[in-house]
Amino acid sequence: WEDYKDRAYAFTHTEYGKKIYARRKETIERSFADSKELHGLRYCRMRGLAKAAEQCLLTAAVQNMKKIANILSNRDIMQSVKRCLLFLPTYTKPAGKGRVLSVI
């Protein structure tokens, strides 16, 4: 077991390992922090391993639903913006040396 831990530790000191590990705080650690602060995972509400696991799974499910809702709402916003841009009039202005730019 120690050999594997040493290999993992050595990997974190390579250039690629440093780059991956730096993103950890933005992704994985952030998710755990949100679970604790926003979703009540700091303390278990019920006793027993099965009920604690249930609370963790429900919290993870809620976080996933929030991510999906954010992605869908952003997609809807972007589609609305694109639809609005289709109806804006475009005009052309000289770009110099005979070229013409179309500006929205």
pLDDT tens track for 14-36 = 999 888 888 887 777 888 888 88
**What's this model's pTM, rounded to 2 decimal places?**
0.55
Cα–Cα distance measured from residue 104 to residue 94, given in angstroms and rounded to the nearest whole number: 14
Question: Tens of pLDDT along 42-73?
Answer: 888 889 999 999 999 999 898 888 888 888 88
Structure confidence at residue 51 (pLDDT): 92
Cα 94 to its chain centre, rounded Å, is 41
Structure confidence at residue 98 (pLDDT): 53
Structure confidence at residue 50 (pLDDT): 92
The answer to whether residue 101 scores a pLDDT higher than 50 is no
Cα–Cα distance measured from residue 86 to residue 66, given in angstroms and rounded to the nearest whole number: 30
Structure confidence at residue 14 (pLDDT): 92
Question: What are phi and psi for residue 91, nearest 5 degrees?
Answer: -135, 160
Higher pLDDT, 92 or 38: 38
